[in-house]
């Protein structure tokens, strides 16, 4: 039970109230008992006092009376009269003795006929005290009350009288009276206690009845309302049972039910709105997701449905919007969806749902039959499933071939379709849609106007690419991208005359990333500007440092690759100037490598920049020469200091005559134009020999040296220099 709830609190109050009431009752009972006890005590004492004082007073009066009456008879020793005086009193059952004695304390009369003790002294313990006293005395010895009075004649005591009263009977009667009193009192207490117990029982029963009432009439209906409110959250608007109560709870229940009915109506409306696409009247992405979630759920016997999900959009839809306006765009979307819907019907996809995901993106979810449980039928069903889905995709593509008439405009549109099939692994509806979406991307990549089935590996690759692209930003700062240097040697002397700076990226998870890949990404995202600048500075610094360790007459050049994009805004010369100044490297020692395509792309700004560079003293080389389609024509337009024959020619130079002839022609051309020539990608001695034989001046490749870090490069150059010096006469070097 919730102690904070009404029932809990009410019960707590009732229990506390009951405990207090019972406490008060117990106190009252205890107090009553104490009162009765003290009353009893007082009564007992009063009775005892009253009885003993009455007996004493009576006996005393009798003793005094008899003493007066016996004065003369004693004086004359008239024993008969003495006997007669006491005879009446002696008959009382409580009178034990009446002794008359003379002035010496000797017994004169003991109340008996024969007076056997006549003349005898009194020997009882009280006698001495009494004999010597001239005043009446009352003494008690156990249950015996002794009342005495002197017998006087004038002033002379001539004897005395003692009356002994046995108190046993009096005491017994007194005890009987007290016991009766006690009984009366106890009865009274019991009656009182019974009354209290009855009162307590009535209080408990009343409290329980109140609790029950509160529970039934307030707490229970409130709980029902609370449960119904929770149900509302789950979209269930069942009315709460109305007990027909006229009280506030009844009113509340009826208002609540009215509110539930209204909410149900709103909910239905909102769901309709939330699940429908306004423009086309089709289901929207939320409705589609729910539909697909329901469709991929296995049935009671664990069987799955076969589902085809087709994700498609209109190729170049943005262009339609931009050219013809959004109104035409909207019309196109409506007509497009209507055509797709027609096609679906033609292909028997009645159970399918067509939804608009937003913009020009549409999706079809087509559950078509149950996935068999045995292997043979499964394979057949799978093929059949794929066949019908493919037919539908082809149908959609075909139906787009007829032009659309949208608001007086005739338009030809095309669509690309991505398809994912279910079952295919343990996937959710969202993942299935994602697969179809990525298949659409693959269809777009494949040239649009076609369909593609989801390809896991392709998807993985594109996800990996996306990750790499995201990680590229800041990779230099994190120290993941570094610069490697590949030596370029003179083919006749083997001397290292230049090094090419090459970027290296070791990704923390994916390892080594190919520069051709990440440089393309850096160009596409614009990161190349920062990356190129950082690389240039670092390379200039490294090579300047190495050059300081080489002899003054050793000419070592640094060549850096410059991408087309770095040329577009014309700041390359000044950037190079700053790098040279800061590193202390002389301009003559720096060459830039450009590809033919870069030169072509920014032809109008390239020439001026290259002129500036040359005026500064830097050299300009054409990289990957022979691969571009411009070739010689570029050499005419842009004056370069040299060309680097692409390694694709060199790799087959020993086996492919064509490549050898082309390479020889490039070498010859360079010589004619009086420009230098580097052969890239030399991997074998044979390649080097033939290039040397054909008159190629410089070579670069794994056979000469692989790209290496600055420290290794320094060692490599110093060693090679020392070796050449040792082997060759100085004039050849």
CB of 620 to ligand C2E, least distance (A): 14
Give the Cα separation of 484 and 193 in Å (integer).
107
| Of the residues 299, 516, 672, 685, which one makes contact with ligand C2E according to CB under 6 A | 516
d(CA 326, CA 308): 31
Q: Is 535 in the site for ligand C2E (CB under 6 A)?
A: yes
Shortest Cβ distance from residue 620 to Mg ion (Å)? 12
Q: Between 529 and 646, whose beta carbon lies closer to Mg ion? A: 646
Instruction: Give CA–CA dist 306/654, Å, rounded.
Output: 57
Interface region with ligand C2E, contact rule CB under 6 A, candidates 337-345, 388-396, 421-429, 681-689: 681-689
Q: Is there binding between residue 146 and Mg ion (CB under 5 A)?
A: no
Q: Is 302 helix (H, G, I), strand (E, B) or coil?
A: coil
Of the candidate spans 13-21, 170-178, 342-350, 699-707, the one that interacts with ligand C2E by CB under 6 A turns out to be: 699-707
Specify the 3-state DSSP secondary structure of 103: coil
Q: Is 659 in the site for Mg ion (CB under 5 A)?
A: no
Supply φ then ψ for residue 718, to 5 degrees: -60, -40
648 binds ligand C2E (CB under 6 A): no
User: Of the candidates 85, 282, 502, 679, which one interacts with ligand C2E according to CB under 6 A?
Assistant: 502
Closer of 171 and 684 to ligand C2E (Cβ): 684
Number of residues in contact with ligand C2E under rule CB under 6 A: 25
- Partnered with residue 406 across adjacent β-strands are 409
Query: Least Å distance between CB 440 and ligand C2E?
Result: 31
In the complex with Mg ion, the residue whose CB is nearer, 280 or 595, is 595
Count the Cβ atoms, other than its own, within 10 Å of residue 235. Answer: 11
Which range binds ligand C2E by CB under 6 A, 66-74, 345-353, 498-506, 670-678? 498-506
Complex with ligand C2E: residue 410 or 655, whichever CB lies closer: 655
List, in order, residues 6 or more apart from 390 with CB less than 8 Å away: 419, 451
Whichever of 63 and 521 has its CB closer to Mg ion, that residue is 521
Task: Tell me the C-alpha distance between 387 and 420, whole Å.
Answer: 13
Q: Does 486 bind ligand C2E (CB under 6 A)?
A: yes
Cβ-contact 352, 395 below 8 angstroms: no
331 binds Mg ion (CB under 5 A): no
Q: With CB under 5 A as the contact rule, which of the stretches 40-48, 340-348, 598-606, 673-681 interacts with Mg ion? A: 673-681
Q: 421 vs 498, which CB is nearer to ligand C2E?
A: 498
Nearer to ligand C2E, 315 or 624 (CB): 624
For 575, the enclosing helix (H) or strand (E) is helix 572-583
What is the closest distance, in whole angstroms, from the C-beta atom of residue 352 to ligand C2E in the complex?
A: 48
Give the span between the Cα atoms of 228 and 240, in whole angstroms. Answer: 7
Using CB under 6 A as the binding rule, whether residue 688 contacts ligand C2E is answered as no
CA 713 to chain centroid, in Å, comes to 54
Quick check: 619 binds Mg ion (CB under 5 A)?
Answer: no
- Residue 707 contacts which entry, ligand C2E, Mg ion, none (Cβ below 5-8 A, type-dependent): ligand C2E
502 contact choice in ligand C2E, Mg ion, none (CB below 5 to 8 Å, kind-dependent): ligand C2E
Closest distance of CB 410 from ligand C2E, Å = 47
Cα→Cα distances 526→13, 311, 518, 603, Å: 75, 31, 12, 20
Question: Does residue 593 belong to the site contacting Mg ion (CB under 5 A)?
Answer: yes
9 CB-near residues (< 8 Å, 6+ apart): 3
Name the minimum Å distance from CB 667 to Mg ion: 16
Strands 409-411 and 404-406 come out as antiparallel
Residue 249 near residue 218, CB atoms below 8 Å:
yes
Residue 295 interacts, among ligand C2E, Mg ion, none and using kind-specific CB cut-offs from 5 to 8 Å, with: none
Choose which of 619, 707, 716, 724 interacts with ligand C2E (CB under 6 A).
707
Asked if 705 interacts with ligand C2E (CB under 6 A), we say no
Taking the complex as a whole, the smallest distance from the CB of residue 635 to ligand C2E amounts, in Å, to 18
Question: Does residue number 563 form part of the binding site for ligand C2E (CB under 6 A)?
Answer: yes
Tokens encoding 543:
């090579």
φ, ψ for residue 489, nearest 5 deg? -115, 160
CB 69 within 8 A of CB 96: no
Q: Which residues of 561-574 are buried (b: 16+ CB within 10 A; e: fewer)?
A: bbbbbbbbeeebbe
Bridge pairing between strands 511-513 and 496-507? antiparallel
Residue with tokens 């959009």: 313
528 three-state secondary structure: helix
Contacted entry of Mg ion, ligand C2E, none for residue 73, CB cut-off 5 to 8 Å set by kind:
none
Looking at 315, 619, 623, 659, which residue binds Mg ion (CB under 5 A)?
623
What are 495's strand-pairing partners? none
Measured from the CB atom, the residue of 368 and 700 that comes closer to ligand C2E is 700
- Please tell me the distance from the alpha carbon of residue 455 to that of residue 67, in angstroms, as a whole number: 147
Out of 103, 611, 683, 712, point to the residue binding ligand C2E (CB under 6 A).
683
CB atoms within 10 A of CB 329: 22
Binding status of residue 503 toward ligand C2E by CB under 6 A? yes
The partner in contact with residue 563, picked from Mg ion, ligand C2E, none with C-beta cut-offs of 5 to 8 angstroms by kind, is ligand C2E
Closest CA to 211 of 224, 222, 201, 220: 220
Among 105, 372, 449, 515, binds ligand C2E (CB under 6 A): 515
DSSP 8-state secondary structure symbol assigned to residue 350: T
**Length of the chain, in residues:** 733
- Binding mask 548-587 toward Mg ion (x if CB under 5 A, else -) reads -------------x--------------------------
- Check binding of 620 to ligand C2E (CB under 6 A): no
In terms of CB distance, is 411 or 638 closer to ligand C2E? 638
Residue 558 lies near ligand C2E (rule: CB under 6 A):
no
Q: For residue 520, what are its two tokens? A: 């393309």
The C-alpha R_g of the chain, in whole angstroms, comes to 65
Which single residue brings its beta carbon nearest to ligand C2E? 701
Q: Does 529 engage in binding with ligand C2E (CB under 6 A)?
A: no
Tell me if residue 373 falls in helix, strand or coil.
coil
Which listed residue (542, 701, 714, 717) binds ligand C2E by CB under 6 A? 701
Q: Rounded distance, CA 394 to CA 356, Å? A: 20
**Of 47-55, 168-176, 213-221, 680-688: span binding ligand C2E (CB under 6 A):** 680-688
Closest to 714 in 3D by CA, of 531, 500, 542:
542
Q: Report the alpha-carbon angle 272-273-275, nearest 5.
A: 65
Site residues (vs ligand C2E, CB under 6 A): 486, 501-503, 514-516, 519, 532, 535, 561-563, 593, 623-624, 647, 680-683, 700-702, 707
**Which residue ranges make up the site for Mg ion (CB under 5 A)?**
561, 593, 623-624, 680
């Amino acid at each position: 039970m919730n102690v904070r709830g009404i029932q809990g609190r009410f019960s707590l109050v009732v229990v506390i109230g009951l405990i207090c009431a019972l406490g008060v009752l117990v106190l009252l009972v205890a107090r009553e008992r104490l009162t009765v006890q003290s009353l009893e005590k007082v009564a007992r004492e009063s009775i005892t006092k009253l009885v003993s004082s009455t007996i004493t007073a009576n006996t005393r009066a009798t003793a005094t009376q008899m003493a007066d009456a016996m004065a003369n008879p004693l004086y004359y020793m008239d024993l008969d009269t003495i006997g007669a005086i006491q005879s009446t009193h002696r008959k009382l059952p409580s009178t034990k003795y009446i002794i008359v004695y003379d002035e010496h304390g000797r017994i004169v009369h003991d109340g008996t006929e024969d007076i056997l003790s006549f003349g005898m002294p009194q020997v009882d313990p009280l006698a001495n005290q009494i004999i010597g006293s001239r005043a009446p005395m009352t003494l008690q010895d156990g249950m015996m009350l002794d009342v005495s009075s002197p017998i006087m004649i004038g002033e002379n005591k001539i004897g005395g009288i003692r009356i002994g009263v046995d108190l046993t009977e009096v005491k017994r009667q007194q005890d009987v009276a007290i016991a009766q009193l006690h009984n009366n009192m106890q009865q009274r207490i019991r009656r009182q206690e019974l009354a209290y117990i009855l009162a307590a029982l009535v209080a408990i029963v009343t409290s329980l009845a109140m609790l029950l009432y509160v529970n039934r009439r307030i707490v229970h209906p409130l709980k029902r309302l609370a449960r119904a409110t929770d149900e509302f959250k789950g979209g269930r608007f069942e009315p709460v049972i109305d007990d027909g109560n006229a009280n506030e709870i009844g009113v509340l229940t009826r208002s609540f039910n009215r509110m539930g009915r209204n909410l149900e109506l709103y909910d239905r409306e909102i769901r309709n709105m939330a699940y429908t696409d306004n423009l086309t009247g089709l289901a929207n992405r939320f409705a589609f997701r729910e539909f697909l979630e329901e469709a991929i759920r296995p049935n009671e016997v664990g069987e799955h449905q076969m589902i085809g999900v087709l994700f498609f959009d209109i190729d170049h839809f943005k262009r339609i919007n931009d050219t013809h306006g959004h109104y035409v765009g909207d019309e196109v979307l409506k007509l497009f969806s209507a055509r797709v819907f027609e096609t679906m019907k033609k292909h028997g996809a009645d159970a399918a749902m067509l939804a608009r995901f937003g913009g020009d993106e549409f999706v079809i979810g087509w559950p078509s039959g149950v996935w068999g449980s045995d292997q043979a039928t499964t394979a057949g069903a799978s093929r059949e499933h794929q066949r019908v889905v493919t037919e539908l995709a082809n149908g959609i593509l075909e139906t787009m071939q007829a032009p659309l008439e949208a608001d007086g405009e005739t338009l030809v549109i095309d669509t690309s379709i991505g398809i994912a099939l279910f079952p295919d692994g343990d996937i959710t509806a969202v993942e299935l849609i994602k697969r179809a979406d990525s298949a659409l991307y693959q269809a777009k990549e494949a040239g649009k106007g076609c369909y593609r089935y989801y390809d896991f590996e392709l998807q993985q690759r594109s996800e990996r690419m996306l990750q790499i692209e995201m990680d590229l930003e800041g990779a230099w700062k994190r120290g993941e991208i570094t610069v490697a240097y590949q030596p370029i040697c003179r083919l006749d002397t083997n001397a290292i005359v230049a090094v090419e700076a090459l970027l290296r990226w070791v990704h923390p998870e994916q390892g080594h990333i190919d520069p051709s890949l990440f440089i393309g990404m850096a160009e596409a995202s614009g990161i190349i500007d920062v990356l190129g600048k950082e690389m240039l500075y670092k390379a200039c610094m490294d090579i300047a440092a190495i050059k300081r360790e080489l002899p003054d007459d050793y000419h070592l050049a640094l060549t850096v690759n410059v991408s087309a994009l770095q040329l577009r805004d014309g700041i390359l010369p000044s950037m190079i100037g700053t790098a040279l100044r800061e590193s202390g490297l002389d301009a003559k020692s720096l060459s830039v490598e450009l590809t033919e395509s870069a030169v072509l792309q920014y032809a109008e700004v390239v020439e001026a920049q290259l002129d500036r560079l040359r005026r500064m003293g830097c050299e300009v080389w054409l990289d990957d020469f022979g691969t571009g389609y411009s070739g010689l024509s570029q050499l005419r337009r842009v004056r370069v200091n040299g060309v680097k024959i692409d390694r694709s020619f060199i790799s087959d130079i020993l086996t492919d005559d064509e490549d050898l002839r082309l390479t020889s022609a490039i070498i010859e051309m360079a010589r004619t134009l009086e420009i230098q020539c580097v052969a890239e990608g030399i991997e074998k001695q044979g390649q080097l020999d033939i290039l040397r034989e054909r008159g190629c001046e410089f070579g670069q490749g794994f056979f000469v040296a692989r790209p290496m870090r600055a420290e290794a490069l320094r060692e490599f150059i110093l060693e090679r220099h020392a070796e050449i010096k040792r082997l060759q006469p100085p004039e050849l070097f």
